[in-house]
Structure formats: structure tokens, C-alpha cells
Amino acid sequence: MPGIFITSGMDLRLDDIRINVESGEIDPPTVTVRMDIWNHWLYVAREARDKSEVALKNVRAAASDNDDPRLSVALEEEFRQSMMAISSAAFAIDSFYASVVDRHGRHPQASEWRVNKLARYKQVFETLRWTWNIKPEPANQIRDALKQLYRFRDFAVHPPSSFQQPIQRPDIDRGVEWRFIYFRAENAVTGVRIANEVIEALLRDPSRAPVGLREWIEGCRPRFHDAAGYAIRDGVAQQSDSNNQ
């Protein structure tokens, strides 16, 4: 086999290394790899957020010029990029959650949740809260943020099919479809911020995470930097009741 190309988010493991004591020869090891996707979704979310902000400038310029054809094009671009940013931010959280479950295990009530069809954001939140044993106050903040993010993601996946009245959009002084309200640059910025801040908080202090996740978290920190566009900031990490799950 030719050399292995290592990419961001990939873990590499060497198994079955055998050394012949008499000859000194080493049998080729078994090479296995695995990778995370959450950081790539964060990167996609950041790119789309930035494009949505550019589109917003075009929206306002076209509205100011009373150029309806240009306004239509700009609104559609802002909508698409905002929808991509918000959805990708939710996918980043979902993917981070999946990586945690793979390494730390499912929440004890996971089977019960599936039967009762517990909302997705609640499953993600409860798993992260249980894994890091986060205290109530910061936990409530994370839960509320995830609820908001997944609500918008659900609009992207399952948009309402009923007739609705246009909604006034003050910055262009027009009534528009609901999608130009929910999926606009302002909400794209908020959605990406939520995903960044939740993941950042969990990666901020590896010593507060379960022992089995600490090495993985150390590897995630530079990936977060590359994806979010800024390094994990100093500050008080989410407080845990126990460090030894």
C-alpha cells in the first residue's frame, strides 16, 4: 500500500505490530483510521454565514435603489446562504454529539428516548449534559441555545406547507415570504455562534471532561481553531460536579 494521507479530524491506529526477536524484522502493522466531521460542518457554516452577510449588503443596496430584479436575486442568495449556515451549524452539533457517543457511550435513557420520540435537540443536550456532568445554570443556557438552533434547522428540513401572510421586513420595507425572515444573515450569524460556543465550551478545559475523552478533546482543540476561525478562548469552563465518569 502507498503512504497514507492524513487529513484534519482523522485518527490513525496501528495494531498487530510483530517483531521477530531473532531476525529483528518487523511485520507490517494493521492500519485503521477514523475521522470526525463536526469541524468540517463548522467550516461550511462559517463560509455560508460570511456569504449571507455579503448578500445582505446587496439586499439593502438593491432595496435602496428600488431595483426589484436585483433585490430578488440578492434575497434568494441571502436565503440560501443563511439556510446553509444554520443547517450546517446544527449538523456540526449533531456530528460532535455522535463523536462523543462513539467514544463515551450512549446516555442510559437513549433507548427510552427513541421509543418516546424525544425531540432531537433534547437527546443531544441531555447526552452532552450527562457526559460532562454540567451544572444546571450553564446547562440551561446550552439547552435553550440548542432548542433555538434545531428549531430553525427543522424549518429548513420540514418547511410549513400552509398559506401564510407575508411578513414585513423593516430593512427593505417590504412584505416577504417567511423564509426571508427566518433564513437571513442575522439568524445565520446567531446559528453559527451557537454551534461555535457550545462546542468551544465543551472543549475549553479537557480536565473537566470524562477521563476517556480528554485525549480526544486535546486533538479537537486545533481542529476547532481551523474550523471556527478563532482559537478556543480563555475563561471559566462549564462547571462539572465530577471529573471521573
In this predicted structure, the answer to whether residue 52 has a pLDDT above a threshold of 70 is: yes
Q: Which three cell numbers stand for residue 211?
A: 477521563
Q: Which helix (H) or strand (E) holds 191?
A: helix 185-203
| Per-residue pLDDT reduced to its tens digit, 109-156 | 999 999 999 999 999 999 999 999 999 999 999 999 999 999 999 999
Which of the residue ranges 49-53, 91-95, 205-209 would you say has the lowest mean pLDDT? 205-209
Distance of CA 167 to the CA centre of its chain: 29
Q: Give the chain's domain count.
A: 1
pTM of the model: 0.83
Contact 240, 135 (CB under 8 A): yes
pLDDT in tens, 174-193: 999 999 999 999 999 999 99
Q: What local confidence, expressed as pLDDT, does residue 2 receive?
A: 57
What is the Cα–Cα distance from 82 to 199, expressed in whole angstroms? Answer: 20
Classify the C-alpha dihedral 160-166-167-170 as positive or negative: positive
Give me Rg for the CA atoms of the chain.
Answer: 22
Inside any domain, residue 243: no
Read off the DSSP letter of residue 183. Answer: S
23 lies in a domain?
no
Question: Which grid coordinates belong to 3?
Answer: 503512504
The Cα–Cα gap between 76 and 179 comes to 10
Is residue 198, in this structure, part of any structural domain at all?
yes
CB-based contact 81:55 (threshold 8 Å): yes
Tell me whether residue 13 is exposed, middle or buried, using C-beta atoms within 10 angstroms of its C-beta: 0 to 12, 13 to 18, 19 or more.
exposed
Model confidence at 30: pLDDT above 50: no
| Predicted pLDDT at 151 | 95
28: closest CA among 11, 39, 15?
15
Q: Which residue has the higher pLDDT, 10 or 101?
A: 101
62-95: pLDDT as tens digits? 999 999 999 999 999 999 999 999 999 999 999 9
Residue 20 lies in a domain: no
pLDDT for the residue numbered 5: 53
Instruction: Give 1-27 pLDDT, tens digit per residue.
Output: 455 556 555 554 444 455 655 665 665
Q: Which of 198, 205, 202 is nearest to 141 (CA)?
A: 198
206, 214 in Cβ contact below 8 A? yes
Do 185 and 78 contact (CB within 8 A), yes or no? yes
CA-to-CA dists, residue 242 to 105, 129, 207, 237, angstroms: 17, 12, 10, 13
Is residue 242 in a domain?
no
* pLDDT, position 243: 41
Mean pLDDT taken over the chain: 87
Asked if residue 77 belongs to a domain, the reply is: yes
Cα within 13 Å of Cα(147), Cβ side: 9
**pLDDT confidence of residue 169:** 96
Report the C-alpha gap between 59 and 237 in whole angstroms: 39
What average pLDDT score do residues 27-37 get? 56
Tell me whether residue 158 is in a domain. yes
What is the domain extent for residue 219? 37-228
**Spacing of C-alpha 82 from chain mean position:** 15
Per DSSP, which regions of the chain are E strands?
10-15, 18-19, 26-27, 30-35, 167-169, 174-176
- Does residue 12 fall inside a structural domain? no
- Report residue 142 as a C-alpha cell: 446550552
Q: What does the pLDDT look like over 225-244, one tens digit per residue?
A: 999 999 998 754 333 343 43
pLDDT of residue 239: 36
